[in-house]
Amino acid sequence: MTDKTRPVLLTGASGNLGRALAPALTAAGYTLRLTDIAPFPDAVPGGAAFTKADLNDGPTILRLAEGCQAILHFGGISTEHPFEVVLGPNLRGLFHIYEAARREKARVLFASSNHAIGFHERPAGNGELLDADCAFRPDSFYGLSKAYGELMGRLYWDKHGVENLNLRIGSSFPEPADARMLSTWLSYADLARCMEKFLEAPRIGHAVVWGASKNPATYWGKDHRDRIGWEPQDTAEAFREKVGTKVSGDPVTERYQGGGYTAMDYTRATPSPKDQFSLD
């Protein structure tokens, strides 16, 4: 698909992942339109322009997307907050993104999250990994908004033919911080490689990809990465000696794939069943 004469809109540009992607993608030759509700804290890379904007402002999002070949949507509330806080940027804001993509015939990369499926239990070490077509089991209002975002992508593909890739990011930081991240870590370099492959892919449709580096301890199995030809190159194993014993000690946190998000405001007396519709 790549046409480097057409710009790419990157939302959430002032966040940690946006700040990592902006210089990587401009260095690869892409013209970027950067936007965030917060000022861009770094020098704006050559080949990019920054506009301060609120995702709730539909007309501004439409204007920023004019002529764009793709939208890399990393904007919105990125951690757990009360529902009313999450509602505007993560639900209404995403609608504005997809409406802009529909009008411009642009494809969308949605920065989804493992928290959309966080109440799936961690693998028992028997080789059974969670595939990308698993049921949503959000662990928070934030995770719920990510499940909503993936379903919006499904709607806009089925109804309008808007191609979209939902990247279920595990834990994207400079390095893993604890034992859980040996399974979920996504390096900044692997994230940037994924964005380039997404922009280059001739055909995507509606796809879900696990956003993690090449971690042997992964929780996750099959996905649609073959559609973009992405193969992570980094691994969390390089950090095992440093963080392998760092665990929370909380049984809820350690039981589920979503980690600490599952334990926030948790009030059950016993764990929920593995089968989401079971009474047992």
Active site positions, annotated: 142
Asked whether 205 and 213 are in contact (CB, 8 A), the reply is no
Please tell me the distance from the alpha carbon of residue 232 to that of residue 218, in angstroms, as a whole number.
13
Angle value at C-alpha 76, between 88 and 222, nearest 5 degrees: 120
Task: Kindly list the distances between the CA atom of residue 242 and the CA atoms of 52, 234, 236, 255, in Å, as whole numbers in the listed order.
Answer: 39, 16, 11, 22
- β partners of residue 52: 36
Asked whether 112 and 149 are in contact (CB, 8 A), the reply is yes
- In the block, residue with structure tokens 């940037």: 192
Query: Helices H, strands E: what count in the chain?
Result: 10, 7
Query: Which of helix, strand or coil describes residue 64?
Result: helix
What are the tokens at 48? 């990019």
Please tell me the distance from the alpha carbon of residue 20 to that of residue 133, in angstroms, as a whole number.
29
